[in-house]
């Protein structure tokens, strides 16, 4: 190949510039396809990061139902307001399957407050706690020591449950359900301000005392929310295990003595 003189090389370069050439050929080959793919991959990665950042920024903060329940309960200044706050609480799935809110029954000014576990079918229908067979047995148990949910004053009693809505098929409440609704129960007790609490059954003991094993806990006085608490068998348990009524009677007599001992 003949070598070009300067004038010929300059003329050829000028002609290429006029034709639109912007780059010269390098000494090493360049894979233009790989470069294009890398550029597309980089743009896709940048777009993915942007979408993820936008989604994270747009996504609402995760709700804490316990904190929401605590705030709603704290805002209730009386029992009617507490009932309304519980009825308006939308974060418990039990509410969607229940027919009615089961709030309480009896005299809110009574010195004795009984905390059961959860509503059953009969309670869900009527909107009152302890109205089925277990409730009828509870009424007879209370009558044996001179108490009546329909009475006022020293003979009165106030009754509620850990959960205000019936669990499906009367299953046991789940720990997250108990934790979610516990602020309402604590506020309920604070507003009613009883002298003595009776917790009936394992679920109530778990909610109020943080312990299970009612056969071991029953009959032994303890304390919760700055009040004396007596764990007792749930009446439903007594219907299934009549032999346990002997221990239940002993607990009733102990409760009667405590009420007399602490009477104003």
Q: Say how far residue 34 (Cα) sits from the centre of its chain.
A: 55
Report pLDDT for 3. Answer: 64
Q: Name which residue leads in pLDDT, 36 or 5.
A: 5
Kind of pairing, strands 105-106 and 158-161? antiparallel
Q: Give percent of the chain above pLDDT 70.
A: 81
Report pLDDT for 189. Answer: 98
pLDDT tens for residues 12-26? Answer: 777 666 666 666 665
pLDDT tens for residues 182-233? Answer: 999 999 999 999 999 999 999 999 999 999 999 999 999 999 999 999 999 9
If you average pLDDT over residues 122-129, what whole number do you get? Answer: 96
Report pLDDT for 31. Answer: 64
Contacts of 77 (CB under 8 A, 6+ apart): none
pLDDT tens for residues 62-101? Answer: 889 999 999 999 999 999 999 999 999 999 999 999 999 9
What number of CA atoms fall less than 13 Å from residue 249's CA on the CB side?
6
**Could you tell me if residue 185 is left (phi over 0), alpha (psi between -120 and 50 degrees) or otherwise beta?**
alpha
3-state SS string for the chain? CCCCCHHHHHHHHHHHHHCCCCCCCCCCCCCHHHHHHHHHHHHHHHHHHHHHHHHHHHCCCCCCHHHHHHHHHHCCCCHHHHHHHHHHCCCCCHHHHCCCCCCCEECCCCCEEEEECCCCHHHHHHCCCCCCHHHHHHHHHHHCCCCCCCCCHHHCCEEEECCCCCCHHHCCCCHHHHHHHHHHHHHHHHHHCCCEEEEECHHHHHHHHCCCCHHHHCCCCEEECCEEEEEECCHHHHHHCHHHHHHHHHHHHHHHHHHHHCCC
Query: Is residue 252 scored above 90 in pLDDT?
Result: yes
Question: How far apart, in whole angstroms, are the C-alpha atoms of residue 56 and residue 25?
Answer: 47
If you average pLDDT over residues 169-185, what whole number do you get? Answer: 95
Report pLDDT for 54. Answer: 59
Kind of pairing, strands 222-224 and 105-106? unpaired
Report pLDDT for 34. Answer: 67
Closest CA to 115 of 63, 166, 159: 159
Report pLDDT for 59. Answer: 47
158: phi then psi, degrees, rounded to nearest 5:
-120, 135
Task: State the pTM of this model.
Answer: 0.76
Report pLDDT for 44. Answer: 67
Query: Is residue 51 scored above 90 in pLDDT?
Result: no
Domains along the chain? 65-261 (3.40.470.10)
If you average pLDDT over residues 110-131, what whole number do you get? Answer: 97
Report pLDDT for 27. Answer: 60
Query: Is residue 5 scored above 90 in pLDDT?
Result: no
Question: How far apart, in whole angstroms, are the C-alpha atoms of residue 67 and residue 190?
Answer: 18
């Amino acid at each position: 190949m003949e070598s070009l003189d300067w004038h010929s090389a300059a003329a050829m370069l000028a002609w290429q510039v006029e034709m639109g050439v912007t780059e010269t050929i390098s000494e090493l080959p360049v894979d233009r396809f790989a470069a294009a793919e890398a550029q597309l991959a980089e743009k896709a990665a940048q777009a993915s990061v942007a979408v993820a950042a936008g989604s994270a920024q747009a996504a609402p903060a995760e709700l804490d139902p316990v904190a929401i329940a605590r705030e709603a309960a704290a805002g209730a200044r009386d029992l009617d307001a507490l009932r309304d706050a519980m009825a308006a609480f939308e974060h418990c799935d039990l509410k969607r399957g229940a027919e009615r809110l089961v709030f309480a029954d009896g005299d809110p000014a009574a010195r004795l407050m009984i905390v059961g576990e959860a509503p059953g079918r009969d309670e869900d229908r009527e909107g009152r706690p302890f109205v089925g067979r277990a409730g009828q047995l509870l009424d007879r148990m209370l009558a044996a020591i001179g108490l009546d949910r329909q009475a006022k004053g020293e003979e009165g009693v106030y009754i509620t449950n850990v959960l205000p809505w019936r669990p499906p098929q009367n299953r046991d409440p789940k720990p997250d359900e108990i934790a979610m609704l516990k602020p309402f129960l604590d506020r309920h007790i604070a507003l009613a301000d009883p002298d003595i609490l009776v917790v009936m059954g394992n679920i109530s003991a778990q909610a109020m005392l943080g312990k299970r094993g009612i056969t071991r806990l029953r009959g032994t006085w303890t304390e919760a929310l700055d009040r004396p608490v007596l764990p007792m068998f749930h009446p439903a348990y007594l219907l299934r295990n009549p032999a346990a009524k002997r221990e239940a009677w002993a607990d009733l007599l102990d409760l009667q003595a405590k009420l007399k001992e602490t009477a104003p």
